[in-house]
Amino acid sequence: MKNVYLDNAATTPMLPEVVEVMRQSMIDNFGNPSSTHQFGRKAKAGVETARKNIAKQFNVSASEIFFTAGGTEADNLVLYNAVLNIGVTKIVTSKIEHHAVIRTIDYLKRTYNILVEYVKVDKKGNVCLGDLEEVLKESKEKTLVSLMYVNNEIGNLLPINKVVSLCKEYKAYFHSDTVQAIGHYKIDLKNTPIDFIAASAHKFHGPKGVGFVYVKKGIPLQPILYGGEQEKGVRSSTENVHAILGMEKALEISCENMLKDKKSIEEVKKYLINKLKEHFVNVEFNGESLDIEKSSYTILNVRFPVKEKMLLFNLDLAGVAVSGGSACQSGANKGSHVLSAFLSEKESENTSIRFSFSKLTTIEEVDFAIEKIKKSIKG
């Protein structure tokens, strides 16, 4: 049976070049980077070269990059440090953030009694910058703003430079979960001085279980994992050498081919939009995902004018892998916290699907998916 993968916002297939780098590293770099002998030094050199090369992609110094097990750990490291080490007593965020941010903030609020304010989102799921400014203007506490660059469910793009300017004006720290943006959008941290960003390699054709956090120079950082002095004392645990080198290669390929890949992926997204409009009357597009300029070219969140709770399951059986705009449509009890933040109760009842693309996605795969959706919705 033919299988089509349209869930690249969840994870991307590893590129052959990345697999080869990791395979060779497993042979050549088996030493522990903390060991002082030649085998350890070789592994350490590979890690530090990767750190320098990754830092160059963001126009920062290598000392500002810390390797983690992924985006979730990176977000946690920033948020914990903001409260426990930097002295932040107020966090400003939104209700459409990734759970790695929302749930960590909830825990910090319960445990350390910090203030948390949620900025409003409009009917398209955009963060209201006017509301953000009002919140920052009235804030007398040491504040951290945490807003994601690309929303992982609806693809909305945060006007990142405007948020940076507001944070600078009102002397607030700014943390952005950039997991869905890195490898797809150019981020120059000298021109867009975000204080903290989080990354995960498997979102740009790298391996799972590895990512990094960027922390602006001069901001103190303490570990949340103890047991060693790795990562300049910030992150205990022997470095995942092979995955770090794989991430370096994946990022290099993504950045080198960014414009070319963007063009081809945009064509796929536009094609799917046209096909959906052609075959499904009254189909809606959640958030700004219909707008190529206001949303990521890799994500399209679609709401069908039907209530088909088993649609995701049926599509999976038919060979099409997609994600739900609402988890309850795949058998879970809770719906999407992102969609429920701006859709009406009636709108939320209809079935939503998140399609997400990569450079490997083809027009033929879209055609295959459309045919399977038509059959699944008709029953």
How far is CA 55 from each of CA 14, 50, 66, rounded to the nearest angstrom? 21, 8, 10
Residues 201 and 295 in one domain: no
CA nearest to 214, candidates 117, 303, 149, 299: 149
Q: Count structural domains, the chain.
A: 2
Residues 198 and 103 in one domain: yes
What is the per-residue pLDDT across 317-327, written as a single tens digit (0 to 9) for each?
999 999 985 43
Residues 194 and 277 in one domain: no
DSSP character at residue 124: T
Residues 76 and 215 in one domain: yes
Long-range contacts of 259-267 (CB under 8 A, 24+ apart): 261/184, 261/359, 262/184, 262/297, 264/359, 265/297, 265/298, 265/357, 265/358, 265/359, 265/361, 266/292, 266/297, 267/363
Q: Which residues of the chain have pLDDT under 70?
A: 325-334, 379
Last residue of a domain, one of 256, 284, 313: 256
Residues 95 and 189 in one domain: yes
Q: Pick the catalytic residue: 128, 167, 255, 328?
A: 328
Residues 185 and 315 in one domain: no
Last residue of a domain, one of 205, 235, 256: 256
Q: Is the alpha carbon torsion for 54, 58, 60, 66 positive or negative?
A: negative
Predicted pLDDT of residue 308: 86
Is 328 labeled as catalytic in the residue annotation? yes
Residues 46 and 115 in one domain: yes
Residues 240 and 270 in one domain: no
Residues 329 and 211 in one domain: no
What CATH number has the domain bearing residue 218? 3.40.640.10
What is the per-residue pLDDT across 263-286, written as a single tens digit (0 to 9) for each?
999 999 999 999 999 999 999 999
Residues 234 and 276 in one domain: no
**How far, in Å, CA of 147 to CA of 158, rounded?**
8
Residues 241 and 280 in one domain: no
**How far, in Å, CA of 299 to CA of 285, rounded?**
11
Predicted pLDDT of residue 332: 47
| 202 contacts 12 by C-beta, under 8 angstroms | yes
Last residue of a domain, one of 256, 284, 310: 256
Domain that holds residue 269: 4-12+258-378
Residues 169 and 84 in one domain: yes
Phi, psi of 22, rounded to the nearest 5 degrees:
-70, -40
Predicted pLDDT of residue 329: 39
What CATH number has the domain bearing residue 292? 3.90.1150.10
Predicted pLDDT of residue 126: 97
Geometric angle at alpha carbon 204, from 70 and 180, rounded to 5°: 70
